[in-house]
Structure 1
Amino acid sequence: MKYNRVLLKLSGEALMGEQQYGIDPSRLEQYAKEIKKVVDEKVEVAIVIGAGNIFRGMQAGRMGIDRVQGDHMGMLATVINGMALQSALEGEGVYTRLMSGIQMDQVCEPFIRRRAVRHLEKGRVVIFGAGTGNPYFTTDSAASLRAIEIDADVVLKGTRVDGIYTADPEKDPTATKIDELTFDEALSKNLKIMDLTAFTLCKENDLPIVVFDMNKPNNLYQLMSGEDVGTIVSL
């Protein structure tokens, strides 16, 4: 495999599948099977998942909810998604641990860096829930931070498109795919890959990002095998 330890970032919206809200069991099962393929090859996998399928902290203002309160609601929603993914992975025979940035001992472990690394070394998939544990930070930022903390080789950002394009391919038919670019090029072109905090963390710590289509069957395995999948951003 091309990488030994990876941080896989999944969006909450991806779990909706064809639904308008919540979790699609078939999409959950698909992701679990895809992750199992690389775990079976002895790749150490950590996962950060968003909560856009349940609640976004940014929605809070429109609902009359304080932003900090709203962000905490969003963090709790990521734990719900993490528990669902954990259950799906264990259904495939994959050993997992769910760790949270907010202490909730009855459902998951608190995030402790050394313990997380030890779980990975033992072949367990570690799912990081509750973001960074702090308001005003996105799950993209949590993914970058956790990847740096566990010394991951790369951040794999699973999306609905097969890489980075010159424009939104779902809106602009003339958009062309970019196979490789630097952090500085991405910034100068104002490409919306991750939020700026997350992107800067990766750049400053020389942590490459690969953007790829997680919904395409076998794509994750092919990427890990070194095939030309998605777009890589590096120094």
Structure 2
Amino acid sequence: MLHCLFLIQQENRINRLQQAAEIFLLQIIEAKSQVGIVTFNSAETIPSHLKVIDNEGVRNQLVQLLPTTANGETNICAGVQTGFQVLGGDDGATNGDEGVLLTDGEDSGISSCFSEVEQSGAVIHTIALGPDAAAELEQMSTLTVSGNDDIGQQSVQASPWNYGILNPGIEQDISIIVTSRAADEKVPLVTVDEHISEKDSVGGRTIYAEVSQRFSPVLFANVTVIIERPTGPTTEQELSDDGLGETDNVAL
């Protein structure tokens, strides 16, 4: 499996982008994968073409190539196009390859390369840091995943993910999507979709879980919801399926 790490240089967020990329390189990317680095703002550079992750030294070398300063405007399409050049460095093609795009997302011209992105056959995972990311950024990621017919090649890696989010005291919207990959590509993925309702008349919310394999529900599934509130202890709630394809729900 191939990966290319895309980075955008945006001065007031460069430290957070660098930290996210470092964690990806040191802890997340699978051994024997190939990784390249592209940095971009109004122009783009290639700090590293594809390297095989076959030891810790390669991981550390790539970390040392991450940018530490930033300047210029945001041109996501230019960065993605250069990323495709890097991804094609091994066999001249990008079909089935994957990219991680780290960006502030503040670019009004993202849609100009949608056609090229879709035709590439690559999967692009987008991570936006900042409140002003263009709506088209998420569309770019959705476009590439939905355009890949091989369901066994649609995700980066299945592993435990821990997220720590610091709320600075202002209201903010946070969206996190994690997709697993089957150990055997011939076995369809089992996916879990969770939904949190809007606040009801008394300020409560309800969590729903849907477990499916391709287009069929997984019956009698058990789902554990772990709820962490700003104050008070963490609680766990078991959701169980009634055999009709619908799980229980839990009210917050």
Structure 2 length as normaliser, TM-score?
0.35
Instruction: Tell me which protein shows more strand as a share of its residues.
Output: 2
Instruction: Tell me which protein shows more helix as a share of its residues.
Output: 1
Q: If you compute each CA radius of gyration, which structure gives the higher value, 1 or 2?
A: 2
Structure 1 length as normaliser, TM-score?
0.37
Relative contact order higher in (CA < 8 Å, ≥ 6 apart): 1
